[in-house]
Chain A
């Protein structure tokens, strides 16, 4: 048969192309069983280890350490999880398949969108696994339904922003190995020099200035407030501002560097 393409608007194709690419990336995630196991077990491991190792030593407001830790571990997992976008993008770029996609009449951004969005799915799975594991070992949230909904919204937006940022790294890095350490040196300090595991007021002054004004801390404080009712302050607002700003800058920048890298 001679196949004739269907006729639809540009926007319709932009969405349908993205859905096809999301499905592709999601299939990668499901078939990559090693990575999938990591998605399940890494957060549980962190949760159990941190609770067992630091739980006795760290005194926190608002009850048990696990209640305090939960928000930190969730945000840390989201941050580390977003690095898989960078790896997936870099892996695609190393192979001929990007040329094939670019020779098709498909929307340019769909490839990156596919990786970013499927990353959110994987992160959701991680977060759900972690919350269930947390409940088992003593995590007791007091969040209302609206708190949970706000939590889901905030987490989605934050992951979206980080994943687009990571997509840029995936494009500009020269190799997949390069991506791994580049993302590590960005994500590691951001998550550890934050309020994820300890109260920032205990840190040395120079670190405290950094820790109290960076996006991961705002995000952790906002999530913590939603989950266990610690004071929200301006944390929620700052989380929104950071996430939206990163998204607004990173999305077009990712598209730009991708186009530049592949067409020169």
Chain B
């Protein structure tokens, strides 16, 4: 029997709490051995989706299969092949790092010898050897998260769910975490990662599914998503208002956006060589002086903004 290409298939997931419809028909597929990022603002339904996919939560409609096992009916079979790293570090505070790893390994039904050996391997890999015999009360947030990720890998499950693994981490710990996640990916695991950081999805994931309000609003590779908001842009900034005004007149319909405060105009460019040169020639011919210019690639932030109608910044201050 040929193996299905998709390790995770969710179709039309629905979940509501009373009148509050949290998931409104989410569908997604994760190809075996790849990483999919579920990207969305707070309250989009990311954690709910992960909790359903990892058998923790009942759902009202739709189907989920993990490596062919039905999540609703074959929970035990699913739990044997998944690893989950939740938002709050799901580790035992009173136990040491090593005890946590061994205990979870045994609960994955590894033999005690295997659990011990894996624990030592992971402590090394996650740079926790020195802290291995200390209770978790003494761990920093970053160390806890690393241990949490290590725990979900103890039985080398082929499918791993990472629910906002870097939320709340400082930049250095985040980059260390990305390194660990990348190594996990290289080991061949199928990974579903949720994040509200566009950069994270961009850096790590093969495929991105953007959700908002319990619905999928876009999906594709980072490159594909970026191309939906257009090509590169040329931004030219001026020293004074008269140059800024004259430039707008000279460039006419080429101007895509203008920013009166920064005295900046943005032009859409299709052919970098031709369009940039002609824009500069127009300014030179009209004897307009500019202070700086730069070329921008569209970011996932632009995608997010154009899809959800709000930037990440808005959401954080909301």
Interface string of A93-111 (1 = CB under 8 A from B): 0011101111111100000
- Say whether A213 faces chain B, with CB atoms less than 8 Å apart: no
* Min C-beta distance of B116 to chain A, whole Å: 11
**Cα distance A182–B217 in the bound complex, in angstroms:** 46
Q: Given that A103-B55, A104-B107, A263-B57 are known contacts, is A1 also in contact with B84, CB under 8 Å in the complex?
A: no
- Chain B CB count within 10 A is highest, among A31, A32, A101, A105, for A105
Q: Given that A17-B107, A24-B103 are known contacts, is A100 also in contact with B95, CB under 8 Å in the complex?
A: no
Interface stretch (choices B85-93, B203-211, B308-316): B85-93
**Cα distance A3–B187 in the bound complex, in angstroms:** 13
**Cα distance A116–B136 in the bound complex, in angstroms:** 24
Cβ of B107 and Cβ of A106 under 8 Å apart? yes
Cβ of A104 and Cβ of B108 under 8 Å apart? yes
In the complex, residue of chain B having the shortest beta-carbon distance to the beta carbon of A6: B111
> What secondary structure prevails in chain B residues at the interface with A?
loop
Cβ of B90 and Cβ of A100 under 8 Å apart? yes
**Cα distance A27–B76 in the bound complex, in angstroms:** 28
- Say whether A20 faces chain B, with CB atoms less than 8 Å apart: yes
Cβ of A97 and Cβ of B92 under 8 Å apart? yes
Interface stretch (choices B151-159, B175-183, B272-280): B151-159
Cβ of A99 and Cβ of B107 under 8 Å apart? no
- Say whether A13 faces chain B, with CB atoms less than 8 Å apart: yes
- Say whether B256 faces chain A, with CB atoms less than 8 Å apart: no
Interface string of B24-49 (1 = CB under 8 A from A): 00000000000000000000000000
Cβ of B79 and Cβ of A3 under 8 Å apart? no
Chain A neighbourhood of B135, CB < 8 A = 31
B49-77 with Cβ < 8 A to chain A: 51, 54-58, 76
Chain A neighbourhood of B165, CB < 8 A = none
In the complex, residue of chain A having the shortest beta-carbon distance to the beta carbon of B102: A20
Cβ of B76 and Cβ of A28 under 8 Å apart? no
- Say whether A2 faces chain B, with CB atoms less than 8 Å apart: yes
In the complex, residue of chain B having the shortest beta-carbon distance to the beta carbon of A2: B156
Cβ of A263 and Cβ of B56 under 8 Å apart? yes
Chain B neighbourhood of A23, CB < 8 A = 103
Interface string of A46-82 (1 = CB under 8 A from B): 0000000000000000000000000000000000000
In the complex, residue of chain A having the shortest beta-carbon distance to the beta carbon of B51: A99
Chain A neighbourhood of B117, CB < 8 A = 1, 3
**Cα distance A27–B109 in the bound complex, in angstroms:** 20
- Say whether A234 faces chain B, with CB atoms less than 8 Å apart: no
- Say whether A262 faces chain B, with CB atoms less than 8 Å apart: yes
Interface string of A251-264 (1 = CB under 8 A from B): 00000000000111
Given contact pairs A24-B103, A262-B56, A263-B58, a sample of 16 additional A-B residue pairs in the complex whose CB atoms are under 8 Å apart = A2-B156, A3-B114, A3-B117, A5-B110, A13-B109, A20-B106, A20-B107, A28-B94, A95-B88, A95-B90, A99-B86, A103-B56, A103-B83, A104-B108, A105-B76, A263-B57
Q: Which residues of B contact A (CB under 8 A)?
A: 51, 54-58, 76, 79-80, 82-84, 86-95, 99, 103-111, 114-115, 117-118, 121, 135, 151, 154-156
Q: Which residues of A contact B (CB under 8 A)?
A: 1-6, 8, 13, 16-17, 20, 23-24, 27-28, 31-32, 95-97, 99-106, 262-264
